[in-house]
Amino acid sequence: MFVFLNNQLIEAEKATLHISDLAIQRGYGIFDFFRVREDVLLYVEDHLDRFIQSAQFMHLSCPYSKDQLHSILQELQKKNNLPNSSMRMILTGGYSPDAYQPVAPNLIIMQNPLAFQDNHVPKSLSIITREYVRDIPEAKTINYTMGIWLQPKLAEQKADDVLYHINGTVSEFPRCNFFIVTKDNVIMTPEKNVLKGVTRKKVLACASSYYKVVEGPVTITDILNAKEAFLTSSTKRIQAITKINGQAIGHGEPGSVTTELLKSLVMLEQSFVKQK
């Protein structure tokens, strides 16, 4: 397996960073993550735009343009020959002499095999809530401290994931975006304190052909009054949320709107791959 590290494609075992990197010293850096399907880099333009935006937001100067990054990704894809896989691009704070000021970042791109099926039946999840907002939520940073720290709590409560909120207004999951379907078939998703997921964007586009779509505040009370709820991400696509803090949402099973949107999302992905 090859990885891209700074200016070269090298074997993964030989790819190392110095311990002075700000990612190690302070957990400072950004990344993006997306799937490769049948040799096609899925929604790569969106992911590269977000990667560059995250870098700018975090005052990290990415050493490559969007086109250069795209070429590097294609080169790595060719070298590893993994038709169905994931790509993780990480930009770190660099080898900081005072372990505080970001300097020239290190760029790592890793690819791993990732098999994926076109499942049309959404998984059903039980979630809990937690008062928290990520640091600098607009950026896809490498800081997942709260989500990881809450893992034992999730196991103890037999919950699949945790939804962050502030004063009852919800935002996002550690790694996914959140949606509800109201009783009058309005699709709502939080807009503040969230990372704008690429899957979120695709789902909003699919949904707006059939439903009224609103990006704005969603409260825990709204969720309890909703017909359906679901989460989105590149690896989870759409999964239904049927229980929150022990209470059923809607009928307590994946609903028809969630199922339809999952189908639309899979079809969108298939047509994106066909066009390439």
Binding residues for ligand PLP, rule: CB under 6 A, are: 33, 140, 172, 175-177, 195, 197-200, 232-234
Q: Is 52 helix (H, G, I), strand (E, B) or coil?
A: helix
Kindly state the tokens that stand for 56. Answer: 């700018």
Give me the least distance between CB of 51 and ligand PLP, in Å please.
11
Q: What gap in Å lies between CA 7 and CA 68, rounded to an integer?
A: 11
Task: For Cα atoms 186, 175, 78, give the angle at the middle one, nearest 5 degrees.
Answer: 110
DSSP string, 225-256: H-SEEEEEETTTEEEEEEEETTEE-TTSS--H
Q: What gap in Å lies between CA 151 and CA 88, rounded to an integer?
A: 22
Q: Which is nearer to ligand PLP, 48 or 96 (CB)?
A: 48
The residue sitting closest to ligand PLP, measured at its beta carbon, is 197
Give me the least distance between CB of 80 and ligand PLP, in Å please.
21
Q: Is 267 helix (H, G, I), strand (E, B) or coil?
A: helix
Listed residue (260, 181, 174, 170) closest to 218, CA to CA: 170
Q: Which is nearer to ligand PLP, 34 or 95 (CB)?
A: 34
Q: Which is nearer to ligand PLP, 144 or 210 (CB)?
A: 144
Give me the least distance between CB of 94 and ligand PLP, in Å please.
22
Q: What gap in Å lies between CA 257 and CA 251, rounded to an integer?
A: 13
Q: What gap in Å lies between CA 254 and CA 74, rounded to an integer?
A: 37
Give me the least distance between CB of 53 and ligand PLP, in Å please.
12
Give me the least distance between CB of 104 and ligand PLP, in Å please.
25
Check if the beta carbon of residue 183 is closer than 8 Å to that of residue 223.
Answer: no
Q: Which is nearer to ligand PLP, 2 or 179 (CB)?
A: 179
Give me the least distance between CB of 134 and ligand PLP, in Å please.
6
Q: Which is nearer to ligand PLP, 103 or 146 (CB)?
A: 146
Q: Which is nearer to ligand PLP, 111 or 177 (CB)?
A: 177
